[in-house]
Chains A and B, each alone.
Chain A
Amino acid sequence: GIQVEQSPPDLILQEGANSTLRCNFSDSVNNLQWFHQNPWGQLINLFYIPSGTKQNGRLSATTVATERYSLLYISSSQTTDSGVYFCAVKMNRDDKIIFGKGTRLHILP
């Protein structure tokens, strides 16, 4: 089945640093989302980005579907950015949405 791999699995940064999170997928997809799971467990939508680039404040994302990867950029990190970042993809060939294992980000004050 489709593989969704996120890297790095863990990341510790000082407040103010920039970071890049990666999501690789092994099959063609027509939907990709990035989520932030906060310390209380809620999954917050960041981007719905099947292709192209989007920006929202300090966050931006780029998906290159033909090369089967997506990147999430966080600039000027704040402690509130801490949590787990998941990418989720929907395959072209059926309706399944597959989640990666996540990147755990910890921003130090």
Chain B
Amino acid sequence: EAGVAQSPRYKIIEKRQSVAFWCNPISGHATLYWYQQILGQGPKLLIQFQNNGVVDDSQLPKDRFSAERLKGVDSTLKIQPAKLEDSAVYLCASSLATGWAIYFGEGSWLTVV
């Protein structure tokens, strides 16, 4: 069974530029999560989808971050414009449904210079 796929793995951009990350969850998983992990810290939830609806986006900086999951499968996370403090690993995860075990992708490493 294929795991959670993410791309790109690594990205370096200048501040004020934009970047987009893509995630393909495990087949059949209805719940999709985007986490931000800053070096030395635990993952922080940015947004949680149930199918194509948003369950929780309370910690998403909506002035610069946006995410969508239009068809209830793949998802895209965008940052525009990026700030230095956005340098982090962006982790996508999925689960069969809310409350079930979650599985993470390899992450997308972002460096903003």
Nearest CB of chain A from residue B103's CB, rounded to whole Å = 6
Q: Interface 1/0s, chain B 38-57, versus A by CB < 8 A? A: 00011111001000000110
How many residues of A are counted as interface, with CB atoms below 8 angstroms from the partner's CB atoms?
21
Distance in angstroms between the alpha carbons of A101 and B56 in the assembled complex: 21
B106 contacts A by Cβ under 8 Å: yes
Identify which of B13-21, B65-73, B77-85, B94-102 touches chain A. Answer: B94-102
A25 contacts B by Cβ under 8 Å: no
Q: Are A99 and B42 in contact (CB under 8 A)?
A: yes
Which chain B residues border A55 with CB–CB below 8 Å? none
B34 contacts A by Cβ under 8 Å: no
Q: Which residue of B lies closest to A96 (CB)?
A: B56
B residues within 8 Å of A by Cβ?
33, 37, 41-45, 48, 55-56, 89, 91, 93, 98-107, 109
Identify which of A42-50, A60-68, A72-80 touches chain B. Answer: A42-50
A residues within 8 Å of B by Cβ?
30-31, 33, 35, 40-45, 48, 86, 88, 90, 95-97, 99-102
| Interface secondary structure of B, over-half rule | strand
Q: List 11 A-B contacts (CB under 8 A).
A: A30-B99, A31-B101, A33-B101, A33-B102, A41-B106, A41-B109, A43-B104, A97-B45, A99-B44, A100-B42, A101-B42
Q: Are B42 and A102 in contact (CB under 8 A)?
A: yes
Which chain A residues border B106 with CB–CB below 8 Å? 40-42
Nearest CB of chain A from residue B47's CB, rounded to whole Å = 12
| Given A95-B55, A95-B99, A42-B42 contact (CB < 8 Å) | no
Instruction: List 7 additional contacts besides A41-B106, A43-B43, A99-B44; criterion CB under 8 Å.
Output: A31-B99, A33-B101, A35-B104, A43-B104, A90-B98, A90-B99, A96-B56
